[in-house]
C-alpha cells in the first residue's frame, strides 16, 4: 500500500441546519495512515464535518471523495460506503439491549454478511487486544464510561474500516477514565490507522496527530503540524482559542 496515497478529500463542503450555516466551505485532505485532529470551540463544525463524511448528514454543496470515489453523490449506496468508515461518538451510542459481544458482531454479521462464528472470532480478538475479554457477555449499562467507549471503538474496528472518525470520544468521560481511551487511540495511530479526530484533548493532538486543523465558524482557519499550530499559530483566532485552553489548564 502506498503510504502517501490519498484516503479522503473534502472539497468546499457546505452544510446548513435551517438558516444556520454550520460548514461554510471545508477543504481537507487525508493521506492513508495519517492522523488529523480537528480542534476548535464547540459549535465550530467539527462534529458536523465528521457526520457529513460518514454520510449521516446530507451535504448541501461540495464533494467528499473516499479512496478516489465521490461518496457525496446521491447515487451512492450509503450502506456500502459506511461499511468502510468507522465512527465513534461522544456519547458511545452502544446498543443497550445487546451484550458487548452482540454490539460488536452486529455490523459484521448484518452488514458484511459474516457468519456468527467468524464475527465472534473477530470480536474476541479485538476484545482481547484491548483488555476487554472479561466484558464479553456484559451489557453496556454495567460498564464504566471508559470501558463503554473502548467497546464502541472495538465495535467500529470490527468492521475493519479504512478510515476511522472519532467525535470527541473522551468528552463525556470522567477525567480519570480519559487516559484508557486515549491509550487505545494512540495504539491505533501507531498501527497506521487513518484517523480523523475531533478532540478537546490538546495533548493528544500535540503528541499523536500528524496534522492539526483549527476550525472556526465553519471553515478550517488554520492547519499545520502540531508544532506549528501549538507553538506558533499565525491566526489571531487560533491564538485566542489556544490561550483559553491554556488558561483552562488543558494544555
Partner 1 sequence: MGTTRPGPGRGVLVAVVSTLVFFGVLALLVTRSPGWDRFKAYFFDWQLYRESFPEIAEAFLINVKIFLIAEAIILVTALGLAVLRSLPGPVFLPVRALAIVYTDLFRGVPTILVILMLGVGMPALDLEGVPNSQVFWAIVSLVLVYTAYVSEVYRAGIESVHPSQDAAARSLGLSSFQSLRFVVIPQAVRRVIPPLLNDFIGLQKDTALVSVLGVVEVLNQASIVEAATFNGTPYLVAATLFVLITIPLARFTDLLVARDRRRRQAGGVAA
Among 56, 219, 245, 251, binds partner 1 (CB under 8 A): 56
Long-range contact list for 109-114, CB < 8 A, 24+ apart?
A: 111/79, 111/82, 111/83, 111/159, 112/83, 112/159
Find out whether 44 and 216 touch, Cβ atoms under 8 Å.
Answer: yes
| Residue 81 CB, nearest approach to partner 1 (Å) | 8
Among 22, 59, 87, 169, binds partner 1 (CB under 8 A): 87
Give the binding range for partner 1 (CB under 8 A) out of 85-93, 121-129, 169-177, 181-189: 85-93
CA distance 184 to 6: 24
Among 31, 93, 171, 228, binds partner 1 (CB under 8 A): 93
Residue 116 binds partner 1, judged by CB under 8 A: no
Cell of 61: 454543496
Closest to 87 in 3D by CA, of 117, 59, 46: 46
Task: State the DSSP code for 6.
Answer: E
Q: 3-class SS at 101? A: helix
Among 29, 76, 106, 245, binds partner 1 (CB under 8 A): 106
Residue 75 binds partner 1, judged by CB under 8 A: no
Give the interface with partner 1 as residue ranges (CB under 8 A).
51, 54, 56, 78-80, 82-83, 85-87, 89, 91, 93-97, 106-107, 110-112, 137-139, 141-142, 155-156, 159
Amino acid at each position: 500500500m502506498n503510504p502517501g496515497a490519498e484516503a479522503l478529500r473534502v472539497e468546499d463542503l457546505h452544510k446548513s441546519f435551517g438558516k444556520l450555516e454550520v460548514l461554510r466551505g471545508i477543504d481537507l485532505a487525508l493521506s492513508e495512515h495519517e492522523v488529523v485532529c480537528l480542534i476548535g470551540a464547540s459549535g465550530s463544525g467539527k462534529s458536523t464535518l465528521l457526520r457529513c463524511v460518514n454520510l449521516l448528514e446530507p451535504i448541501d454543496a461540495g464533494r467528499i471523495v473516499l479512496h478516489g470515489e465521490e461518496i457525496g453523490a446521491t447515487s451512492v449506496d450509503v450502506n456500502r460506503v459506511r461499511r468502510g468508515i468507522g465512527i465513534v461518538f461522544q456519547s458511545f451510542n452502544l446498543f443497550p439491549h445487546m451484550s458487548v459481544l452482540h454490539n460488536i458482531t452486529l455490523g459484521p454479521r448484518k452488514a458484511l454478511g459474516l457468519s456468527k462464528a467468524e464475527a465472534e472470532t473477530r470480536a474476541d480478538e479485538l476484545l482481547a487486544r484491548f483488555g476487554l475479554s472479561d466484558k464479553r457477555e456484559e451489557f453496556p449499562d454495567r460498564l464504566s464510561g471508559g470501558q463503554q467507549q473502548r467497546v464502541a471503538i472495538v465495535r467500529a474496528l470490527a468492521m475493519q474500516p479504512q478510515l476511522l472518525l472519532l467525535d470527541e470520544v473522551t468528552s463525556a468521560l470522567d477525567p480519570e477514565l480519559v487516559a484508557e481511551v486515549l491509550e487505545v487511540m494512540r495504539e491505533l495511530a501507531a498501527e497506521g490507522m487513518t484517523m480523523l479526530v475531533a478532540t478537546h484533548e490538546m495533548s493528544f493532538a500535540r503528541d499523536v496527530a500528524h496534522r492539526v486543523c483549527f476550525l472556526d465558524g465553519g471553515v478550517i482557519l488554520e492547519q499545520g503540524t502540531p508544532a506549528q499550530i501549538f507553538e506558533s499559530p499565525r491566526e489571531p483566532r487560533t491564538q485566542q482559542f489556544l490561550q483559553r485552553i491554556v488558561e483552562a489548564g488543558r494544555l
